[in-house]
Amino acid sequence: MINYETFDTWWWPYVFIAIAGWLATDIWRWLGVIVGNRLKQDSAALTWVRAVATALLAAVIAKLILYPTGELKNVPVALRLIAASVGFAAFLIGGKRIWIGIVVALGLLIGGQLLLGSAVLSG
């Protein structure tokens, strides 16, 4: 029987995680494709699924902005909110191109941090 402790190599945990992660999620993806192909684009079920997916994405983004981890914790909340807002505006103005919104938001975050860092150092 092969289990997590079968092999004593450095790479085995990564392979185990990859295979277990694939098995746990791939079946649901295939079921989603099979069921989703039978739904009409304007059906109530698909509208509900889109609404839930959008709400989950909005919640993750809000959590990252308001309760960040890592280095983003050191960025003031106001700067994070401004960067997200201006990045979203740039996304809309730029023809809904995701990369434009990301570049603008990251530029504001980095520029704001550099300005704040130099202000702290100088005074």
Counting residues of the chain whose pLDDT is more than 70, the rounded percentage is: 92
**pLDDT at 33 (0 to 100):** 85
Name the DSSP letter for residue 38: T
Task: Please determine, for residue 74, whether its predicted confidence score (pLDDT) is greater than 80.
Answer: yes
105, with CB counted inside 10 A (0-12, 13-18, 19+), is: buried
Q: What is the pTM of this model?
A: 0.65
Over its C-alpha atoms, the chain yields an Rg (Å, rounded) of 21
The single residue listed with the structure tokens 């704040």 is 116
